[in-house]
Structure 1
Amino acid sequence: MLVFLLKRTGAALVLVFVVSFISFALTWVTPGDPARAILGVSATNEQVARKRTELGLDQDVLGAYWGWLTHALTGDLGRSWFTSQPVAGSIADRLPVTLTITIAAAVLAGIIGITLGLWAAARRGAVDSAIQPFAVLGFAVPNFIVAILLLTVFALNLRILPATGWVDFADDPGGWVRSITLPVIALAVAATAAVAQQTRNAAIETLQQDYIRTLRGRGLGTASIYLKHVLRNSAPVALTVLSLQFIGLLSGSVVIERMFALPGIGALTVGAAGSGDQPVIQGAVITVVVAVVVVNLLMDLAYAWLNPKVRS
């Protein structure tokens, strides 16, 4: 298990390094002059040249990336070119919002998706027929459409949940739950459909195995068969799908945060991209990459625990 962990960790570090360089290079060569944008059209060429030197824009991309990387390894992601605020501080203030709705959506999708998948595999018939259209719709309908429907029904018509805004858990736990309910559901629908569909297929395949018939022949209870055997053999598939869906949840949070006016990393990144604030963009990208890598590493470890064969 230790060798498996070291291999996965090494691969994760390489991935973070590669993605950070690619994203840095892409933002570095983006058309436009940030120095001119910061100083305005009235600035002289000499002032713009000094500003470019101050920002390090006169370096080549490799030199600039190395300077950024050496500071990033110490936790210093630089400062915003437009507000002069530390990037690490801005991300630290907004990261809990994004992680809260993303992780909550992933947990909700995992619980409901696995439950629906096992239920469809066990009952088949009408239950399976009802779940299949849900899975198709979940794949097909974008999360912003789901968000609009939720806002219309629960915020505008029924007025039982807030349409926008964020409440800190420490200030008001009940208000915090109410503020994240609609964003989490809007994010979780597609992931739930994917997990339910794949869990159903894996569970049906497991139920057709000879050892399941043997267990039934020995008089083992249905609940015990599903919880100890079918679920254990279907869980790796569900975890794999969920780890892939987590990437989609993070990217989808950009739209959801804007729609529900949540102060997360998505809103920060969109604003930075519009102004060309390269340090903020790079800091947000590397933060999201690290989050995805960590979650996938945890999923790999869970997969290895459920299925020892993958360790080799």
Structure 2
Amino acid sequence: MAAIGGPLRIKRDRSPDCGMEQINVDSDSCRSVEREVGVIRYIGRHLLTLIPMVFIVSTLAFVLVQLVPGDPATYILGETSTPEKIAEINARLGLDRPLAEQYFSWLASAIRGDMGASFITNVPVTQTIGQTIESTLSIAVLATIVMLVMGMFLGMLSAIRGGALDTFLQSISSFFLAVPNFWLAPLLVLVFAIGLHWFPAVGYTPFGVSPTAWATGLVIPVVAVASSYIAQVALHARSSVLDVISRDFVRTLQAAGVPRRRILYKHVLRNAAIPVVTIGGLNFTSMLSGVIVVEVLFNIPGMGSLMVNSVYRHDLPILQATVIYFAIVVMVVNLAVDLLAAWLDPRIRVR
């Protein structure tokens, strides 16, 4: 608004950060736009790094699968295999060509979106993975949510209450850190599936078929995968909450009469969640190995059990594709964790 008796004068200056003329009164908007542009550039750079990383992972996967003992032709023919039949199968599958030619032929097809077909079933790899990825992501995502929510809750409860409850929760967390999921999973089945009949022991029901059966069927696998990671997140959350509570700004808020609940949930929780989110991202990466074990134990048709079966059957296209898919998931999750940490703490500059 112009002052009474004089014209409105707006000073313009050249902002080096925004790269355009800015009006002083719009400096906050300029910084917001600059930050959004920085986030977009950050995402773009990381997405571009996926290309060489996928190339490296695909090369390593191709080299490593060549070291697997045996060959697909022997598995396909079984006891009826003869050198002539094995040579015929190898020629049909293209395994009689030099390794470099096999790799670059596969890579050229993969760039076009064609991952090949299974040596055993002759079903396209993308179709096979599409049929199994739902169960794997269901277990991994639900286990991650349970890990973060329960771990953060128990960590905050332990740090705030203290005393005997703190000692008890730390003891329980230390116990579950030492319990492997391949031991806990059969125990949960024995108690809650066979003994109490609360949940199914094995198998998987797609969400589209029955949401209720999907949820009940995932309870035991998710708990088996997430248990040790909940304990780890709880211990880190406890330390983080204690650190934040001891800072000066919290004491200032308390002296100003801000309600305790508001301090905890608006200020302490957000600041304490930053290292917890980082730990959660790292745990998700290692959690995928637990998902593979649980899928095999519970006979769940997921990508983990698919990868294990492809090793046994020497199904090289399936094995290469699953390794690459897992690598891409890990890289995308790491990017998401970085962006979430920057959102929780505006002091983190994403450039």
TM interval, short-chain normalised: over 0.9
Is the partner of 1:263 in helix, strand or coil? coil
CA distance in 1, matches of 2:315, 2:329: 22
Q: Which residue of 2 aligns with 1:304?
A: 342
- The one of 267, 289, 292 aligned to 2:327: 289
Note if contact 2:135-2:206 (Cα within 8 Å) is conserved in structure 1: no
Higher Rg of the two aligned structures:
2
Q: Which residue of 2 aligns with 1:270?
A: 308
Q: Which residue of 1 aligns with 2:40?
A: 2
Q: Which moved more, 1:254-263 or 1:62-71?
A: 62-71
Residue 227 (structure 1) aligned with residue 265 (structure 2):
yes
Q: TM-score, normalised by structure 2?
A: 0.83
Q: Which residue of 1 aligns with 2:109?
A: 71
Deviations 1:55-97 (A, max 9, x none): 2323443332222222223322111112211111111001101
**What amino acid sits opposite 1:90 in the alignment?**
T
Is the partner of 1:166 in helix, strand or coil? coil
Q: Which moved more, 1:17-26 or 1:37-46?
A: 37-46
Residue 184 (structure 1) aligned with residue 183 (structure 2):
no
Deviations 1:236-291 (A, max 9, x none): 21111111111222111111112222111122111111111111111111111112
| Ranges in structure 2 where 5+ consecutive residues have no aligned partner | 1-38
Deviations 1:21-78 (A, max 9, x none): 1111110243333334434565554543343233232344333222222222332211
Is the partner of 1:111 in helix, strand or coil? helix
**What amino acid sits opposite 2:198 in the alignment?**
I
- The one of 140, 148, 156 aligned to 1:118: 156
Deviations 1:208-233 (A, max 9, x none): 11111111111111111112221111
Q: Which residue of 2 aligns with 1:134?
A: 172
Is the partner of 1:170 in helix, strand or coil? coil
CA distance in 1, matches of 2:107, 2:177: 38
Is the partner of 1:291 in helix, strand or coil? helix
Note if contact 2:68-2:311 (Cα within 8 Å) is conserved in structure 1: no
The 3 A distance-change label for structure 1 pair 96 and 219 is same
Q: Which moved more, 1:50-59 or 1:81-90?
A: 50-59
Deviations 1:136-163 (A, max 9, x none): 1222100122112211111111111111
CA distance in 1, matches of 2:229, 2:323: 22
The 3 A distance-change label for structure 1 pair 49 and 137 is same
Q: Which moved more, 1:52-61 or 1:275-284?
A: 52-61
Normalized per residue, the structure richer in helix is 1
CA distance in 1, matches of 2:54, 2:168: 41
CA distance in 2, matches of 1:61, 1:294: 30
Moved over 6 A (4+): none
CA distance in 2, matches of 1:44, 1:53: 14
Note if contact 2:159-2:238 (Cα within 8 Å) is conserved in structure 1: yes
Q: TM-score, normalised by structure 1?
A: 0.93
CA distance in 1, matches of 2:211, 2:134: 15
**What amino acid sits opposite 1:117 in the alignment?**
G
Q: What pairs up with 1:1-312 in 2 under 5 angstroms?
A: 1-40=39-78, 42-43=80-81, 45-308=83-346, 309-312=348-351
CA distance in 2, matches of 1:61, 1:303: 43
CA distance in 2, matches of 1:164, 1:82: 25
**What amino acid sits opposite 2:48 in the alignment?**
G
**What amino acid sits opposite 1:94 in the alignment?**
T
CA distance in 1, matches of 2:216, 2:315: 33
Is the partner of 2:199 in helix, strand or coil? coil
CA distance in 2, matches of 1:102, 1:134: 23
Is the partner of 1:220 in helix, strand or coil? coil
Question: How well do the aligned residues superpose, as a CA RMSD in angstroms?
Answer: 1.8
CA distance in 1, matches of 2:58, 2:215: 34
The 3 A distance-change label for structure 1 pair 48 and 158 is closer
Is the partner of 1:77 in helix, strand or coil? coil
CA distance in 2, matches of 1:278, 1:60: 15
CA distance in 2, matches of 1:25, 1:148: 35
CA distance in 2, matches of 1:12, 1:124: 45
CA distance in 1, matches of 2:47, 2:228: 29
Q: Which moved more, 1:167-176 or 1:230-239?
A: 167-176
CA distance in 2, matches of 1:283, 1:82: 15
Deviations 1:116-146 (A, max 9, x none): 1111111121221111112212221001221
